[in-house]
Amino acid sequence: MLQALDDAAVGDWYRAAVEVLSESRSRLDDLNVFPVPDGDTGTNLLLTAQAAIAALDSEGPRTTESAWSILARGAVLGARGNSGTILAQLLRGLADQLAGQPPADGPAFAAAMQKAAETAYTAVADPEEGTFLTVARFGAEAAVASVDAGHADLSDVVRAAADGARVALEATPGQLEVLREAGVVDAGGAGLCLVLDALVTTVTGVEPSRPALARRDHGHHHTGEHLPHQPPAGPGSEVQYLLADSDEDAVARLHHGLAALGDSLVVVGVDTPTGREWNVHVHCADVGAAIEAGIEAGRPYRISVSPLAPVLPSAPVPGTRAVVAVVASDGLAQLFRGEGVRVVACGPDGVTEDEILAEVLASVALEVVVLPNDAGLSAVAARAATRAREVGRDVGVVPTRSPVQGLAAIAVTDPARRFGDDVIAMAEAAAATRWAEVTVAEQEALTSAGRCQPGDALGSAEGDVVVIGSDLAAVACDLLDRLLSAGGEMATLVVGSDEALGDVVCRHLATQHPTIEVTRYGGGPDGILLQVGVE
């Protein structure tokens, strides 16, 4: 049993929190009716906690910075949604009190939690009781009361905090009519209770025994029917961005201006190696004005805008089928759309399961095939598929690792086949397509083909670098020769911004491999000069 929270224990706590939030994400999403019933509270809390851990992992074991500070910075900069931003503020409040101090014992943690809960109220423009904030405050007050009563061991304090938060959570329907009418507790507060229970488990080694979180049950999920506090019809949106190159006075003016534009306003600041930054979250109708206010205050970036109205999945049409592909460029989007495929754009920060799910549901098809087109997105696509199945869609994920494999899968799809057989045929076609890429090294690195320097051309096959050289065209041609040495009848080329490279490669194939059928497309993503598929 831990007597104090050192850096290692703090990291263990938040890893445990990520695990429990991951397990409970869908249940928390189902509880979400306030401030709007958009069904994403669990997802936002999980993404925020994951951002905190990602920051800690990126620093590595040699850092001398406090784990509290690193986690707080990662959470604030990666916070998603209203509840995620408040969770980040609580963690930042703990960091303000405990970073750089000796490992936190019971009294130190109780005092820090109370201060963190108080500052969380100040971060929210119009705090309401019966919410995440109430649960946090009651948990902190219970922790302080435990110390005052002489139960000051860390284990006693964290149990008291978790128990106090749980009592407050059960009382939230009596404080907010929207919760009472829906028959649920506050989703954000429920998520905080899980985070505090993870702390109890970390400190004591024993997981608290709690009743399962109750799902909202109206015979369906997330259709929006019978739910109170629906957002009004119109262009209401959730706007969120990070703000840099600003100061406290400018942020105070921003806070005042955004409060006049909308509600659910949360502004949280955190120190970073390059200066102080803020995470800004607001619900408003005038998206442009909210972003312009950020520009006046500093430099907004990583801007996201999401409609406040919940996703209302239409009933799937029997006998219909669709294909959804994740793509990383406008050119690829146009190419896949030309094949009758629905697309989800993958930006610099990747793509979320919510975005894939929304496209699957928007297709109105009963049977949907998802093509992630990137090895790193298969798990995200699988989670989106699981959620789609929960609302009555039959979804199969073909684990394509490159757009050229996605194109091969599309080429064999046949709506006349049984859906399961069609998914298998597409998966077999994708697996039979060897894929490769030509890129340029951005930094020195040790690869499977040796050491590369910045500016070197890299030829990779199936994700492993096999050719390194200074001449881009030579590397591309060498890569193709290696691929075709194992046989093949067809080569698909997706050329990026360097059209001349595509010309050189096509001439090489025509002279050195004249029997190969070549299909060439343009519009490849930035950073990948050539993508190749060989069948």
Q: What whole-number distance in Å separates Cα of residue 522 and Cα of residue 506? A: 13
pLDDT digits (tens, 9 = 90+) for 153-205: 999 999 999 999 999 988 888 887 777 777 788 888 889 999 999 999 999 99
pLDDT digits (tens, 9 = 90+) for 398-429: 999 999 999 999 999 998 899 999 999 999 99
Q: Please state, for a pLDDT cut of 90, what percent of the chain lies above it.
A: 57
pTM of the predicted structure, to 2 decimals: 0.57
Sheet of strand 299-307, all strands in order from the earlier edge strand to the far edge: 262-272, 275-284, 237-244, 299-307
Mark residue 210 as left, alpha or beta (left: phi above 0; alpha: psi -120 to 50; beta: remaining). Answer: beta
More confident residue, 440 or 233: 440
Sheet of strand 490-495, all strands in order from the earlier edge strand to the far edge: 464-469, 457-461, 434-440, 530-534, 490-495, 517-521
- Provide the CB-side half-sphere exposure for 159 (13 A, CA): 16
| Per-residue model confidence (pLDDT) at position 113 | 95
pLDDT-derived band at 466, boundaries 50, 70, 90: very high
| Per-residue model confidence (pLDDT) at position 35 | 56
**Domains identified in the chain and CATH numbers:** 7-204 (1.25.40.340), 237-307 (3.30.70.1710), 319-431 (3.40.50.510), 434-534 (3.30.1180.10)
Grouping H, G, I as helix, E, B as strand and the rest as coil, residue 239 is: strand
pLDDT digits (tens, 9 = 90+) for 87-138: 999 999 999 999 999 999 999 999 999 999 998 898 887 788 888 899 999 9
User: Does the pLDDT value for residue 222 go beyond 70?
Assistant: no
Mark residue 318 as left, alpha or beta (left: phi above 0; alpha: psi -120 to 50; beta: remaining). Answer: beta
| Per-residue model confidence (pLDDT) at position 44 | 86
Per the DSSP assignment, residues forming a β-bridge with 282 are 239
Least confident of 57-66, 86-95, 354-363, 382-391: 57-66
User: Does the pLDDT value for residue 41 go beyond 60?
Assistant: yes
pLDDT-derived band at 217, boundaries 50, 70, 90: very low
Q: Are 471 and 505 in contact (CB under 8 A)?
A: no
pLDDT-derived band at 229, boundaries 50, 70, 90: very low
Q: Which strand (E) or helix (H) includes residue 434?
A: strand 434-440
| Per-residue model confidence (pLDDT) at position 34 | 58
Q: Are 466 and 478 in contact (CB under 8 A)?
A: no
Q: What whole-number distance in Å separates Cα of residue 154 and Cα of residue 113? A: 13
Q: What whole-number distance in Å separates Cα of residue 156 and Cα of residue 153? A: 5
Rounded to 5 degrees, φ, ψ at 206 are -125, 125
Helices (H), 60-125: 67-78, 81-98, 106-123
User: Does the pLDDT value for residue 319 go beyond 70?
Assistant: yes
| Per-residue model confidence (pLDDT) at position 223 | 37
